[in-house]
Homo-oligomer: A and B are copies of this chain.
C-alpha cells in the first residue's frame, strides 16, 4: 500500500522560497502568475499487511510528528489502495 503526504505552510506564514521562484518565473517572461508557494511531498511505501485504517493512522502520526512542523505547517494524508 502506498501513502502520499502533502506538507504546506499555513496561510499567513511567509514563504521566501516560493517568492524567489515567483520572481524567477516572472524574470523568465511568464505572465498571469499571482503567487507561488512551495511545499513538501512524500511518498511512503507501506507493508501490505496493514489495513487501510491502520495505514491512515500510522501515516497521519508520522506526518504530524516527523514530516511537518505543526506550528507553521499543515499536512494532508492520502492512502492509495493498489
- Give A contacts to B, CB under 8 Å: 6-8, 18, 21, 24-25, 28, 30, 32-47, 49-50, 58, 61-62, 65-67
Q: How far is the CB of A14 from chain B (nearest CB, A)?
A: 15
Pick the residue among B37, B44, B66 that contacts A43 (CB under 8 A). B37
Could you say how many copies of this chain the assembly holds? 2
B contact residues around A46 at 8 Å (CB): 32-34
B contact residues around A35 at 8 Å (CB): 44-45
B contact residues around A7 at 8 Å (CB): 41
Pick the residue among B24, B41, B58 that contacts A30 (CB under 8 A). B58
A49 touches B21 (CB 8 A): no
A40 touches B41 (CB 8 A): yes
